[in-house]
């Protein structure tokens, strides 16, 4: 009888543990493919996961996988397409041919004044039917942007004193930023973010175009000797997308939790990014990186050859592919202007 009581107690404890484990287990688990490490660029995804878990009492779990553990950064959209994972972050310029409509905001010298405006621009673009159709080809639903400020160049070696000094310089620059640099004689390359430090340290490239957080995260600030603090040629579009199939399979309350988590996630991103500069400029000084500025005359000359001419060529090329390019560009410009 004693042994029976002990056995019953053990069984009860075991079953109790099982029930507790079941109660703690998520009903739905999504995997997110990211590259690099946790940084300002991924803080909205971190916050999104927290918000979704809180709104569903832990029944909807979003698991973040860094370092390209699930996929290479250039293959994240393909992974979404085949259902390898449910969510991913990517940059449109990694494969512009796969998401041509998103390259609207990659155009140089659009004049976006701040990240808050960039968020409005991105969501306006995401809501356009042509953009949704474009991403729909990859079974991708646009969830939220990863808004970034204007890129600038961090280089190694002789610092350019004028725009003509960029002639022949190998520069890690993507999308519209790369096109803008090409107009002043630079040679843009498509080195990935994770390869940027090695590229500049080894001399494969002489400069890297990044937003400040990336110069910190990928340690290019430790390899460079100069920084352009006012070139501001543009930025890149890096959305977070979810699998349309996975989203459609969610219970309505889980869809609602995900959708309602976007706004606080993006706000957290903006709040976090505001603090990046508190680290960035001291890091430049600590690493002996010289800040260089160009005159207004040089910047205006740069814009004259790398602004509207590139926009016009982009509209021509995209229109030839059957896309409403002029309409998309006007949408972006009007949103920037607050219209």
For residue 210, give Cα distances in angstroms to 173, 195, 236, 309, 336.
8, 13, 9, 23, 22
Q: Which residue has the tokens 């040679």?
A: 187
Lowest mean pLDDT among 4-8, 247-251, 256-260: 4-8
Higher per-residue confidence, 171 vs 236:
171
Q: Which residue has the tokens 């800040």?
A: 291
Distance CA 317, CA 319 (A): 5
User: Are 294 and 233 in contact, with CB atoms under 8 Å apart?
Assistant: no
**Residue among 90, 151, 269, 323 nearest 331 (CA):** 323
User: Are 105 and 332 in contact, with CB atoms under 8 Å apart?
Assistant: yes
Lowest mean pLDDT among 74-83, 130-139, 220-229, 274-283: 274-283
- Bridge partners (DSSP) of residue 152 are 210
The 3-class secondary structure across 82-132, one letter per residue, is HCCCCEEECCHHHHCCCCHHHHHHHCCCCCCCCHHHHHHHHHHHHCCHHHH
**Residue among 85, 106, 88, 89 nearest 97 (CA):** 106
Q: Tens digit of pLDDT for each residue in 272-331?
A: 998 988 899 999 999 999 999 999 899 888 988 889 999 999 999 999 999 999 999 999
| Interacting residues of 81 by C-beta distance below 8 A, sequence separation 6+ | 138, 139, 140
User: Are 269 and 44 in contact, with CB atoms under 8 Å apart?
Assistant: yes
Higher per-residue confidence, 26 vs 78:
78
Higher per-residue confidence, 190 vs 7:
190
CA 263 centroid distance within chain: 16
At residue 328's C-alpha, the angle toward residues 326 and 331, to 5°, is: 110
Q: Tens digit of pLDDT for each residue in 75-127?
A: 999 999 999 999 999 999 899 999 999 999 999 999 888 999 999 999 999 99
Structure tokens at 255: 């869809």
Distance CA 120, CA 106 (A): 15
0.85 exceeded by pTM: no
């Amino acid at each position: 009888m004693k042994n029976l009581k002990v056995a019953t107690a053990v069984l009860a404890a075991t079953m109790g543990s099982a029930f507790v484990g079941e109660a703690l287990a998520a009903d739905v688990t999504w995997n997110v493919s990211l590259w690099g490490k946790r940084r300002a660029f991924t803080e909205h995804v971190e916050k999104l996961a927290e918000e979704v878990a809180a709104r569903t009492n832990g029944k909807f779990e979003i698991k973040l996988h860094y370092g390209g553990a699930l996929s290479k950064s250039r293959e994240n959209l393909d992974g979404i397409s085949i259902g390898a994972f449910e969510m991913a972050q990517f940059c449109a310029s990694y494969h512009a041919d796969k998401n041509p409509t998103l390259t609207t905001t990659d155009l140089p010298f659009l004049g976006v004044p701040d990240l808050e405006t960039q968020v409005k621009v991105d969501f306006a673009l995401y809501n356009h039917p042509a953009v949704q159709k474009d991403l729909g080809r990859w079974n991708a639903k646009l969830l939220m942007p990863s808004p970034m400020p204007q890129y600038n160049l961090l280089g190694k070696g002789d610092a350019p004193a004028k725009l003509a000094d960029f002639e022949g310089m190998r520069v890690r620059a993507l999308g519209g930023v790369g096109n803008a640099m090409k107009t002043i004689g630079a040679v843009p390359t498509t080195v990935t973010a994770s390869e940027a430090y090695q590229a500049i340290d080894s001399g494969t490239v002489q400069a890297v175009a990044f937003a400040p957080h990336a110069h910190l995260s990928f340690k290019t600030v430790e390899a460079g000797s100069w920084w352009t603090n006012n070139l501001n040629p543009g930025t890149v579009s890096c959305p977070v997308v979810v699998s349309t199939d996975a989203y459609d399979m969610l219970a309505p309350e889980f869809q609602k939790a995900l959708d309602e988590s976007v706004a606080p996630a993006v706000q957290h991103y903006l709040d976090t990014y505001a603090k990046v500069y508190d680290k960035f400029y001291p890091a430049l000084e600590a690493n002996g990186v010289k800040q260089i500025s160009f005159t207004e005359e040089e910047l205006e000359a740069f814009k004259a050859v790398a602004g509207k001419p590139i926009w016009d060529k982009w509209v021509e090329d995209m229109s030839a592919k059957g896309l409403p390019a002029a309409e998309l560009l006007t949408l972006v410009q009007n949103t920037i202007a607050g219209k």
